Structures are given as C-alpha cells and as structure tokens.
Amino acid sequence: MGRTKQYRRSRRAADADTVFLESDEHLRALMTALSRFAQSARYHNLDVIGGCQPETNDPEQEWQHIEMELVNERPELSKALLEPGSTGEIYDAIRREFVGRIEVFVRALCRLFTLGPLGEEARRFTGYLTPFLFLRDDDLSTRDYRTAR
C-alpha cells in the first residue's frame, strides 16, 4: 500500500482533508482566482491603461463572480441583498466563508507536512505550522490574522 493511502486510512482527518481538497468547488475557485491574480491579474489595470491586451480577465469582476456564486447558494444572503444597509452583513458572511475554506486548506497542508508521509524534514517546521495544525472546526473564521501574535 502506498504511503499516501496508508496516511489516509490511518487518520480520519486526513481522509476528510483529501475529500475537501479534491471536491470543494469554492476552494478551487478561490485558489484559481488568487493564483491568477498573483501571476498576472494584479497588473490588469496597468495593462488596460497602457493599451496592452490584459492576460487575464478583470480580477475584480472575477472576485465578484465568486462572491455572487456563494450568495446565490445561500438564501439568507440572497434575501439580504434586497434589504437596504445589509451590505456589511453580506460581506462579513462572504469573508467568513472564504477565510474558513482557506483555513481548512492550510490546515490540510499542515497535517500532510507534519503527520503525513513527507518525513522528518517536514516535521522540522511544526513550530511554524502549529496555529493551523491544531485549528479546530469550531475556530474556523474566528481568528484575526491582521494582528501580530
């Protein structure tokens, strides 16, 4: 049996992590948008101003599309769109959803590094990974990463 399969079978959380990483469409859309932004979309407006053909779609429109997909899936958010002054509430719900998914993504990677088949070399970084490694589902979307710790 391969080390990856053994890791998945030996830890229930590892299997759940793998299922999440392989199947969560919102995570895939987030990672794709962030990756595209990091590679070239951050220069989109400069390309437009400079008369060049941008390599990517407008990153702001792409992000709004991802947000609206989430809103459309959640009836309470769709309803809130019709209520004046609810924008802050909607954006807060979107932020919590996105941050939570990214936290689960990072936690899964941390578990793979420290508990998985990557070996002793990866375990040397446990001190850096601990905040995510031990992140419980109840703690998702509750931390403020903007503050220094």
- Say which amino acid occupies 105: F
Whole-angstrom distance, CA of residue 74 vs CA of residue 69: 9
Burial of residue 100 (number of CB atoms within 10 Å: 0-12, 13-18, 19+): middle
**Residue 69, pLDDT score:** 92
pLDDT band at 146 (very low <50, low <70, confident <90, very high): confident
* pLDDT at 6 exceeding the cut of 70: yes
More confident residue, 13 or 42: 13
Of how many residues is the chain composed? Answer: 149
Per-residue pLDDT, 94: 93
Give the tens place of pLDDT for each residue, 46-79.
766 777 776 667 778 888 899 999 999 999 988 9
Residue 135 has pLDDT above 80, yes or no: yes
Reported as a pLDDT band with limits 50, 70 and 90, residue 86 is confident
The angle subtended at Cα 143 by Cα 141 and Cα 145, nearest 5°, is 115
Would you place residue 149 in the very low, low, confident or very high pLDDT band (cuts 50, 70, 90)?
low
d(CA 18, CA 132): 16
What per-residue confidence (pLDDT) applies to 41?
61
What's the pLDDT at 28? 93
- H helix intervals, the chain: 3-10, 12-23, 25-39, 44-49, 59-73, 75-80, 87-115, 120-123, 126-133
Q: For the chain, what percent of residues have pLDDT higher than 90?
A: 30
The structure's pTM equals: 0.77
Phi-psi region of 141 (alpha: psi -120 to 50; beta: other; left: phi over 0): left
Q: Reply yes or no on whether the pLDDT at 147 is more than 90.
A: no
pLDDT over 60 (residue 148)? no
